[in-house]
Structure 1
Amino acid sequence: MTKKRWMLLILITAAAVIAGKSYYDTNVFQTKHVTFTTEELPGDASIRMLQISDLHNKQFGDNNEPLLNAAKSADPDMIVITGDLIDENTSSMEPAMQLMEKLTEVTEKIYFVTGNHEWDNPRAQTLLGGLRESGIMILDNTNTEAEVDDAVINLAGIDDHFTDHHNLDQAFQGMNGGHYTVLLSHAPLVVENETASRADLVLSGHTHGGQIRLPFIGGVVSPGEGFFPRYDKGTYSLDSGSRLYIDSGLGTSVIPVRFLNQSQMTVVTLEGKE
């Protein structure tokens, strides 16, 4: 075989591998697991939160059955949705509502915060109204206490930070400072606001993990951070002592492609320690 033919074969093989990996990462999701320990919970306490982020109205299989089965298998004490359940161009809210109603069969404790695509979609109020009717709590610059087997945490949530609809002071108002506090914020750059340090843990999405990632470099681009973002996915320890976890999400936006960045949702476990 000539050198040119070898080169052509290598290029074709590389293109096929990239295309296959991209298809897999975009259309086959995984469930990640992260654990945070704290002395603010009893030593034997364990709270499992399933974080779902940035679905963008994507469907995994018929009626999202694989997603629902995975949620049931995760056996969460509560589910937190960190925004962009729909896309800005989503015209029918029915698929998202069907998914959310099915998730209420997994746990009645479901909490939702808006992302930028909810604010950019003119039909989003239909979705938000439907969520409320289904018993899902929308944390729109508000907070609540969540109890699991006598262990109590604060859950605060803000409307989307990226589109400047957040109000951190209002979100933390009236909280019991003695409880471990989780802040739900669609956009992770909220951690640059000093008030966010009142939370022990910030759960975010928005970045899609850069959507396309490069070896040794990480995420290529993120809204609000531009190219090669500082905060793209995973866990970050902040100077304030707080922790930030960014779930890279299930869906896509702008281009329907992921690469080296598989679609995911995350089981976030809070464990007490003596």
Structure 2
Amino acid sequence: MIRRIALVHIYSCSAALLEISFMEEWINGLILIMLSIGHAELWVTFINRTHALPVHEPLLKKTRHVTYFMILAFPLFLFVMVGLYSPGVLRGGEWSQLSFWWKPVFLLCTLGFLGLLVSVFRHLFYRIPRLQTESQSEIINVRERLGQTLIGNGPYHYLAGLPLNEIFSVEFSRKTFVLDRLPTAWDGLKVLHLSDLHFSGTLTRDYFCELCRIAQESKPDLIIFSGDLVDEMHCLDWLDETLGQLQAPLGRYFILGNHDWNQLSEQIRMSLTRLGWIDVSSQTLRLEHAGHSMLLAGTEVPWMGQHPVLPSQLGGESADFLLLISHTPDNYYWACSQGYDLVLAGHTHGGQVRLPLIGPVFAPSVHGTRYTSGTFYRKSTLMHVSRGVSGIHPLRWLCRPEFSLLTLRSGE
């Protein structure tokens, strides 16, 4: 009897120890996964910030390759050296037995994981500013509408045919903004905001012709293009049948972006101006309408030119309303300090790929994914960031391409 009780006790203790050992291994494995995610977030942060700088594409491509390798290789190295290599934490070892040099690595990875949590919470709790009072969207499946594949032979064309890719499912969004300084006489002013066309031959000319035709049917008063027009110079021939077909009573205004900077930017600029588009990069233009004046300004910083100087800062006459076209949303804080009423930007493509709950991961911005797309308000400045129509990489998951018709209402 005593022997049986002893055996039962030994068996119970052994089972408890095995359960504790299993729980410790499970927790340690979870910690290793969190450290791997934090490490990946650090590299994503690096790639996002470097792509916001005036660095040419060949060097950026090398940094992307290094980043992808490090993101994939580090978890394997971590699990082998920390988890399995004797005395690994997944084989009964203790964290305290690890080399001292692992401590700063773990600290950085932990900070990266916390940074990811901040981005996720910011994405989940994003709220549209109260100044945006209405929003409607029409989803246009261009491929079904035209009955064509619309895939050419340009760079990365194989990505366009991947499953669940939304590159041909374009969102035509209509948004209404109430702006305090907008003159009452301008109430209902319609602004067509286009960005990031990325002509490269990957998506055929017919794709862009159809979108421009739909945009023209909305009958805008003013048309704004916020940069990144061409990735392959031979596609400049498309301008006549695309942007050249757009017309608006108050004119068509543009700036260029970083992809144009990587091409023959001056030739692109001249081709647009020959079609009647007005270049506002690094300058300001006064637009008179219904007895009031709008100051239109453009900035291609940090890739080209400089920030425009307001006439009022030089002793000149101010305007009733200030509108800034900026390729990147990174110039938002500068625009707020200058007192602009409305900023129209693009460049970030909404992240192009969005993960459920997590949201966008890659965004070429010094602010990471904070201003990837949507409407933002700070001080007295409202900013609208377009997800853009295309991209050099024709891949969109949970992040449709977009062009927008913005209706401006007077706060009075």
TM-score (normalizing by structure 2): 0.55
| 1:100 corresponds to which of 213, 229, 243 | 243
User: Are the equivalent residues in 2 in contact too, given 1:141–1:171 (CA < 8 A)?
Assistant: no
Cα drift, residue 92 of structure 1: 3.4
| 1:73 corresponds to which of 206, 217, 225 | 217
1:31 paired with 2:169, answer: no
Superimposed CA distance per residue, residues 59-83 of structure 1 (whole angstroms, 9 cap, x where no aligned partner) = 5662733212211222100110000
Q: Could you say which residue in structure 2 is the equivalent of 1:52?
A: 194
Q: Could you say which residue in structure 2 is the equivalent of 1:243?
A: 382
1:271 paired with 2:395, answer: no
Rounded to whole Å, the distance in 2 between the matches of 1:134 and 1:72 is: 16
For the structure 1 residues 21 and 202, does the alpha-carbon distance in structure 2 shift closer, same or farther, using more than 3 Å as the test? same
1:206 paired with 2:354, answer: no
1:83 paired with 2:223, answer: no
User: Are the equivalent residues in 2 in contact too, given 1:30–1:264 (CA < 8 A)?
Assistant: yes
Rounded to whole Å, the distance in 2 between the matches of 1:92 and 1:145 is: 32
Rounded to whole Å, the distance in 2 between the matches of 1:60 and 1:91 is: 13
User: Are the equivalent residues in 1 in contact too, given 2:209–2:241 (CA < 8 A)?
Assistant: no
What residue identity is the alignment partner of 2:399? N
For the structure 1 residues 215 and 196, does the alpha-carbon distance in structure 2 shift closer, same or farther, using more than 3 Å as the test? farther
Cα drift, residue 268 of structure 1: 1.5
Give the superposed CA RMSD. Answer: 2.6
Cα drift, residue 256 of structure 1: 1.9
Rounded to whole Å, the distance in 2 between the matches of 1:194 and 1:40 is: 16
Rounded to whole Å, the distance in 1 between the matches of 2:311 and 2:261 is: 18
Cα drift, residue 209 of structure 1: 0.4
What residue identity is the alignment partner of 2:377? S
TM-score (normalizing by structure 1): 0.80
Rounded to whole Å, the distance in 2 between the matches of 1:271 and 1:113 is: 25
For the structure 1 residues 91 and 171, does the alpha-carbon distance in structure 2 shift closer, same or farther, using more than 3 Å as the test? farther
Rounded to whole Å, the distance in 2 between the matches of 1:210 and 1:40 is: 32
Instruction: Provide the secondary structure at the position in 1 that maps to 2:286.
Output: strand
Which is higher, the Rg of structure 1 or of structure 2?
2
Rounded to whole Å, the distance in 2 between the matches of 1:147 and 1:243 is: 22
Q: Which runs of 5+ in 2 are unaligned?
A: 1-160
Instruction: Provide the secondary structure at the position in 1 that maps to 2:197.
Output: coil
Instruction: Provide the secondary structure at the position in 1 that maps to 2:223.
Output: strand
Rounded to whole Å, the distance in 2 between the matches of 1:56 and 1:149 is: 35
Rounded to whole Å, the distance in 1 between the matches of 2:242 and 2:337 is: 31
More strand per residue: 1 or 2?
Answer: 1
Q: Could you say which residue in structure 2 is the equivalent of 1:127?
A: 268
With 188-197 and 125-134 compared, the bigger mean Cα shift is at 188-197
User: Are the equivalent residues in 2 in contact too, given 1:54–1:84 (CA < 8 A)?
Assistant: yes
For the structure 1 residues 111 and 204, does the alpha-carbon distance in structure 2 shift closer, same or farther, using more than 3 Å as the test? same
User: Are the equivalent residues in 1 in contact too, given 2:174–2:406 (CA < 8 A)?
Assistant: yes
Cα drift, residue 172 of structure 1: 7.5
Cα drift, residue 40 of structure 1: 2.2
Instruction: Provide the secondary structure at the position in 2 that maps to 1:118.
Output: helix
User: Are the equivalent residues in 1 in contact too, given 2:292–2:320 (CA < 8 A)?
Assistant: no
What residue identity is the alignment partner of 1:115? G
With 77-86 and 107-116 compared, the bigger mean Cα shift is at 107-116
Q: Could you say which residue in structure 2 is the equivalent of 1:114?
A: 256
Rounded to whole Å, the distance in 2 between the matches of 1:172 and 1:46 is: 27
Note the 1:184-263 alignment, pairs <5 A: 184-193=325-334, 196-225=337-366, 229-238=369-378, 240-253=379-392, 255-263=393-401
User: Are the equivalent residues in 1 in contact too, given 2:311–2:317 (CA < 8 A)?
Assistant: no
Rounded to whole Å, the distance in 2 between the matches of 1:150 and 1:21 is: 50
Q: Could you say which residue in structure 2 is the equivalent of 1:6?
A: none
Rounded to whole Å, the distance in 1 between the matches of 2:366 and 2:357 is: 19
Q: Could you say which residue in structure 1 is the equivalent of 2:301?
A: 161
What residue identity is the alignment partner of 1:269? T
Rounded to whole Å, the distance in 2 between the matches of 1:204 and 1:70 is: 21
Q: How many residues align?
A: 248
User: Are the equivalent residues in 2 in contact too, given 1:82–1:204 (CA < 8 A)?
Assistant: yes
Rounded to whole Å, the distance in 1 between the matches of 2:236 and 2:398 is: 30
What residue identity is the alignment partner of 2:387? S
What residue identity is the alignment partner of 1:271? R
Instruction: Provide the secondary structure at the position in 2 that maps to 1:37.
Output: strand
Cα drift, residue 20 of structure 1: 4.2
Q: Percent identity?
A: 27
User: Are the equivalent residues in 1 in contact too, given 2:295–2:319 (CA < 8 A)?
Assistant: no
Rounded to whole Å, the distance in 1 between the matches of 2:290 and 2:388 is: 29
Cα drift, residue 42 of structure 1: 3.4
What residue identity is the alignment partner of 1:252? G
Instruction: Provide the secondary structure at the position in 2 that maps to 1:190.
Output: helix
For the structure 1 residues 27 and 171, does the alpha-carbon distance in structure 2 shift closer, same or farther, using more than 3 Å as the test? farther
